[in-house]
Homo-oligomer: A and B are copies of this chain.
Amino acid sequence: MSKSVFQAIADPTRRKIIGLVSNQSCNLNELVSNFSMTRPAVAKHVKILEDCGLLRIEKRGRERYCHAQLHNLGEIALWVHQYRRFWNDNLDRLEDILRNNKDN
């Protein structure tokens, strides 16, 4: 069963994977070298990220290149966004400013 994006980013290892591939696409072994766990463990996390669309796997010979594909994080951004008044009033001001510059 495929997880939600919320569940996907709940795990620190997966967030680190996202950080790594967002910086530079790489294959599984390169990813693994950044962690102190076995390759199958990292592979599972990659699979989960792929399943929920946060990662794209490009088959290149015997290697699999992992590319960040993070537009689904928009769902998180949207959800958090509705509560922004709880921690940052300035963001409301920012929206006002955007509205006033609509015609730029």
B-binding residues in A (CB < 8 A) = 4, 6-7, 9-10, 12, 15, 18, 22, 68-74, 76-77, 79-81, 83-84, 86-88, 94, 97-98, 101, 104
Contact = CB atoms under 8 A, between A and B. Distances in A.
Given A86-B68, A87-B74, A104-B97, A79 B6 contact: no
Contacts of A81: 77
Chain A interface, >50% SS class: helix
Contact of A70 (B22, B68, B83): B83
A47 to B, nearest CB: 18
A15 B72 CA distance: 18
Contacts of A88: 71, 74, 77
B98 A94 contact: yes
A18 B15 CA distance: 23
A69 B94 CA distance: 22
A80 B22 CA distance: 12
